[in-house]
Amino acid sequence: MPTLRNMIVEFNESLYWEKRAQGLLVGEEEFSLLNQEEISEILDKNIIKSTNKDLLNPQIAEAIAASFEKIKKVDHKVLAKEVYQEFVDYLAGKYGFNIDISDTTSTIIGSPEERWVYLLRETERSEHGQGSMKITEIADKLGCSKRSLELDIKRITLTGFKLLGQNIKLVDEENSVLNMQSTPHPIVLMQNISQILVLLEGLRAMEKVQAYSTFAHYTAINIWNQLTEYAQNKILDALELMGQDANIDWYLNLSSDSNMVNRFLSETKMSETDPMSQLMYLAKNQMPFNLTYQDEKGQQAELQDCTVSFFNPVASEIRLSTPLGEHHLREVKILEIEILT
């Protein structure tokens, strides 16, 4: 005779298509449905289709609400809404339950800022060929109105918004909608200033590597602008005490260079500042390109339809795969890169 525990496990086994959903129902996580106190007393109760469910329905609904409340990430909440609705439909069809979770899943995102970040992620997802959703579909997922999303899109494409000190905006230099190559990934700052100082010093050192220079500098600016004035001054004081006076100007320039991050830059835009940075971007994304370079003898050469098979940015060593074979380049001067689309 089936129990509620059996039903949850049985349904969970049908979720093979989505690994992130596995811990939602069965697992060690705090939010896992099997771990909720609201159903602990009825988990092993024998249930058949004719069993009176009037008392069981609200208990299961309360357990789902408790689970839902403990999920922190917006993407996980969107997934949980879908999974839990499928779960209660499964219980209704197979065992005769009538569980209402509409109040729990009606509003996933409450603040405009959370919706803006979700819209940015949806932009990235669609740009990477993972399908796209209509505004009405996104509104249904998030539990908000279509009008709210339309206003959100207008805001992030015209004026942008602040995210941990960085102005995020879906508009490029020509004032057209940006096809994003990646979305903002907030850097979670450490709990003490010493850790932040070590991270910034590492980025300062990485600027000396040509391929890393632009990315390291932009990252340092982002981090510095997330700090309070108190934290910035503590870092400057620590540098002086450690005899690093010569490096203080680098930190002060992070503030003056903050105009570099007055809007969100895609990886493509950022990498275009330097050929080696662009090669690192192309290597990471395995994108094809044509390359014009100057070899060690000063001769100009071209390679067509290349992909990077190996890249050592410190030694400026590159191996490229082309239809005509492998090419090993070292300390060459990059003249032009044409990305193939």
Inside any domain, residue 179? no
Inside any domain, residue 325? yes
Q: Could you tell me if 228 and 199 lie in one domain?
A: yes
Of 267, 289, 315, the position where a domain reaches its end is 267
Q: Could you tell me if 116 and 141 lie in one domain?
A: yes
Of 237, 267, 297, the position where a domain reaches its end is 267
Locate tokens 């395995």: which residue?
A: 286
Locate tokens 């908000």: which residue?
A: 144
Question: So what's the pLDDT on residue 19?
Answer: 62
Rounded Cα distance between 233 and 186, Å, is: 22
What percent of the chain is predicted at pLDDT more than 90? 20
Domain count along the chain? 4
What's the pTM? 0.47
- 262-298 burial, b if ≥16 CB within 10 A, otherwise e? ebbbbbbebbbebbbbbbbbbbebeebbebebeeeee
Q: Could you tell me if 66 and 89 lie in one domain?
A: yes
Rounded to whole angstroms, what are the CA distances from 40 to 9, 12, 56, 157, 238? Answer: 15, 18, 12, 48, 53
Question: So what's the pLDDT on residue 263?
Answer: 47
Of 221, 245, 267, the position where a domain reaches its end is 267
Residues 161-202 have pLDDT tens digits of: 665 555 566 544 444 333 444 444 555 555 578 888 889 999
Q: What is the per-residue DSSP string for 28-56?
A: SSTT-GGG-GGGTTTTT-B--TTS--TTH
Locate tokens 């909440």: which residue?
A: 77
Owning domain of residue 292: 281-339
Strands 289-294 and 333-339 turn out to be: antiparallel
Rounded Cα distance between 62 and 42, Å, is: 13
Q: Could you tell me if 47 and 84 lie in one domain?
A: yes
Q: Could you tell me if 87 and 13 lie in one domain?
A: yes
Q: Could you tell me if 245 and 208 lie in one domain?
A: yes
Task: For residue 306, give both structure tokens.
Answer: 């290349």
Inside any domain, residue 30? yes
Asked if pLDDT for residue 133 goes beyond 80, the answer is no
Task: For residue 182, give both structure tokens.
Answer: 């990646």
Q: Could you tell me if 234 and 205 lie in one domain?
A: yes
Q: Could you tell me if 253 and 236 lie in one domain?
A: yes
Long-range contacts of 164-169 (CB under 8 A, 24+ apart): 164/222, 164/226, 165/222, 165/225, 165/226, 166/222, 166/225, 166/261, 166/264, 167/261, 167/262, 167/263, 167/264, 168/116, 168/120, 168/263, 168/264, 169/263, 169/264
Question: So what's the pLDDT on residue 265?
Answer: 57
Confidence of residue 160 (pLDDT cuts 50, 70, 90): low
Task: For residue 168, give both structure tokens.
Answer: 């995020």
Please state which of the ranges 50-59, 226-235, 266-275 shows the lowest mean pLDDT. 266-275
Residues 235-284 have pLDDT tens digits of: 898 888 888 877 888 888 887 765 555 445 566 666 777 888 888 888 88
Inside any domain, residue 178? no
Is the four-CA dihedral 327, 331, 335, 338 of positive or negative sign?
positive
Q: Could you tell me if 86 and 134 lie in one domain?
A: no
Is the four-CA dihedral 287, 291, 307, 219 of positive or negative sign?
negative
Q: Could you tell me if 246 and 302 lie in one domain?
A: no
Q: Could you tell me if 10 and 101 lie in one domain?
A: yes
Q: Could you tell me if 28 and 92 lie in one domain?
A: yes
Confidence of residue 140 (pLDDT cuts 50, 70, 90): confident
